[in-house]
C-alpha cells in the first residue's frame, strides 16, 4: 500500500522534482540528493531570481521561516529528487503565454520589498509589508495536486500558511461574502501585460466565496519543495486552491479585498462560456474545446504517457463537497 500523505495525496503521486523544476539532473542515491543539493535562491549571496541581495530582511525571514517549517511526513521524498521542471512549464501570462516564457522573463522580477494592500469590508484594512504579514506564523508544508484547466497536472509540496489564518487577522465584516485578489500590475517588469496579443486584461483578478477562502485547504504559498518560491511560480506570495483549476490560484498577490458582490474575475471576463467563477475540477463538465474526463500527469510523453482519470474536486471531495451542496455544478461551473 502506498503511504498516504496529507489531503488525500499518496506518496507515489508526488511529481518528481526532475519533472517540476528544470535546473539539475537526477542525483544518485537518496541520501546524496538530500545532502548535496542547495538552492541558489536560498544559499547564494545574491538572488539572481529576485534581483535583490539575499541579505534583505524579507528574504532572510523567508529563508528562516521555510527552514523551520512544520514538515510533511513525506517531504523528504520531494527533497530527494532534483529541481527540474516547474521553472520551465508554467502558466503565468504576465511573463508571456508560452510555457517557457515565465522562467525566461521573470529572472529579474523584483519581489523585495513587497507590500499587500488590504481593502473593503473589514476592520483591518491597510497596506502591509509582506514580512509583517508572515512573521507571526509558523509556516507549514502541504503536498497538493495541481490540476490545470488545460488537462495536465502535477503534485507539489508547497510551503506557506492557511489562508484562513491570515484573513481572520483583517477582521472581515459580516457583509463580506467574497475575497478578491489582485496580481501586481507592472508592465515594465511583466512584459506580458503590455502585449498587444494578450488574451486577458490586467491586472489579473481572482476571487473566492468566503466559505471557500476559509476552508482548511485554501493556502497561501511562499515556497515550494522546501525552498523560496521561484519568481515564475508566483513569488513572493500566491494562492493555492487545490480543488479548483490552477488559474484560480492567483500569483504575486498585491491586493486582498473583502467584497459583498461576486467579482468578475479575469478569465470569466475574457471568456465566461469557458471559465466560470467556481472552476471546480469536474470530470463531467468538459471545456468547450476538450474533455476534462482525464488528465496528463507530468512527466508524460508520447512514448511514455501518464494519463489518468480526473477526480471530482481533484480528489478533495471529502473536504470541500459540502460547500456546493444543492448547487448545479454544471450550471455553476
Taking only the tens place, the pLDDT of each residue in 151-195 is 999 888 899 999 999 999 999 999 999 999 999 999 999 999 999
pLDDT score, position 14: 62
pLDDT bucket at 15, cuts 50 / 70 / 90: low
Residue 14, preceding peptide bond in cis (omega within 30° of 0): no
Residue 252 has pLDDT above 50, yes or no: yes
Strand-pair partners of 143: 157
Enumerate domains of the chain plus CATH numbers. 14-324 (3.90.420.10)
What span, in angstroms and rounded, lies between the C-alpha atoms of 94 and 203?
9
Mean predicted confidence (pLDDT) in 65-92: 70
Contact 113, 131 (CB under 8 A): no
pLDDT tens figures, 281-332: 999 999 999 999 999 988 788 998 989 999 999 999 999 999 999 999 999 9
What span, in angstroms and rounded, lies between the C-alpha atoms of 89 and 110?
21
pLDDT score, position 56: 84
Q: Is 168 helix (H, G, I), strand (E, B) or coil?
A: helix
Contact 88, 103 (CB under 8 A): yes
pLDDT score, position 57: 86
What span, in angstroms and rounded, lies between the C-alpha atoms of 21 and 325?
38
Give the CA angle between residues 249, 189, 106 to the nearest 5°.
60
Neighbour count for residue 273 (Cβ, 10 Å): 9
What span, in angstroms and rounded, lies between the C-alpha atoms of 216 and 61?
25
pLDDT tens figures, 109-154: 999 999 999 999 999 999 999 999 999 999 999 989 999 999 999 8
Pinpoint the alpha helices (H) of the chain.
Answer: 17-20, 30-36, 40-43, 57-67, 75-79, 101-105, 130-134, 163-167, 210-213, 266-270, 317-320
Buried b (16+ CB within 10 A) or exposed e, 163-184: bbebbeebebeeebebbbbbbb
Mean pLDDT of the chain: 85
Task: Tell me the C-alpha to C-alpha distance, in Å, between residue 173 and each of 167, 169, 259.
Answer: 11, 12, 10
- Pairing between β-strand 307-309 and β-strand 178-183 as defined by DSSP bridges: unpaired
Residues of the chain above pLDDT 70, percent? 80
Amino acid at each position: 500500500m502506498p503511504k498516504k500523505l496529507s489531503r488525500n495525496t499518496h506518496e507515489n503521486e508526488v511529481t518528481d522534482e526532475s519533472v517540476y523544476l528544470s535546473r539539475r539532473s537526477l542525483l544518485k542515491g537518496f541520501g546524496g540528493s538530500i545532502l548535496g543539493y542547495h538552492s541558489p535562491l536560498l544559499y547564494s549571496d545574491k538572488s539572481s531570481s529576485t534581483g535583490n541581495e539575499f541579505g534583505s530582511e524579507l528574504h532572510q525571514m523567508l529563508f528562516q521561516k521555510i527552514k523551520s517549517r512544520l514538515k510533511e511526513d513525506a517531504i523528504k521524498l520531494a527533497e530527494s529528487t532534483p529541481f527540474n521542471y516547474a521553472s520551465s512549464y508554467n502558466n503565468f501570462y504576465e511573463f508571456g503565454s508560452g510555457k517557457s516564457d515565465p522562467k525566461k522573463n521573470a529572472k529579474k522580477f523584483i519581489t523585495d520589498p513587497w507590500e499587500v494592500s488590504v481593502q473593503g469590508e473589514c476592520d483591518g484594512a491597510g497596506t502591509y509589508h509582506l514580512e509583517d504579514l508572515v512573521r507571526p506564523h509558523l509556516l507549514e508544508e502541504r503536498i497538493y495536486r495541481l490540476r490545470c484547466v488545460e488537462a495536465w497536472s502535477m503534485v507539489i509540496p508547497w510551503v506557506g500558511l492557511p489562508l484562513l489564518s491570515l484573513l481572520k487577522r483583517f477582521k472581515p465584516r459580516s457583509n463580506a461574502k467574497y475575497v478578491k485578489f489582485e496580481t501586481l500590475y507592472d508592465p515594465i517588469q511583466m512584459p506580458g501585460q503590455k502585449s498587444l496579443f494578450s488574451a486577458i486584461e490586467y491586472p489579473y483578478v481572482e476571487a473566492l466565496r468566503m466559505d471557500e477562502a476559509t476552508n482548511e485547504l485554501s493556502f497561501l504559498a511562499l515556497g515550494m519543495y522546501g525552498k523560496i518560491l521561484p519568481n515564475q511560480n508566483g513569488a513572493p506570495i500566491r494562492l493555492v486552491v487545490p480543488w479548483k483549476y490552477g488559474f484560480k490560484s492567483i500569483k504575486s498577490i498585491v491586493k486582498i479585498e473583502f467584497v459583498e458582490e461576486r467579482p468578475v474575475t479575469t478569465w470569466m471576463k475574457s471568456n465566461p462560456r469557458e471559465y466560470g467563477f467556481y472552476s471546480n475540477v469536474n470530470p463531467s463538465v468538459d471545456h468547450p474545446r476538450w474533455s476534462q474526463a482525464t488528465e496528463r500527469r507530468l512527466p508524460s510523453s508520447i512514448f511514455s504517457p501518464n494519463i489518468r482519470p480526473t477526480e471530482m474536486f481533484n480528489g478533495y471531495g471529502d473536504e470541500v463537497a459540502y460547500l456546493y451542496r444543492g448547487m448545479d455544478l454544471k450550471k455553476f461551473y
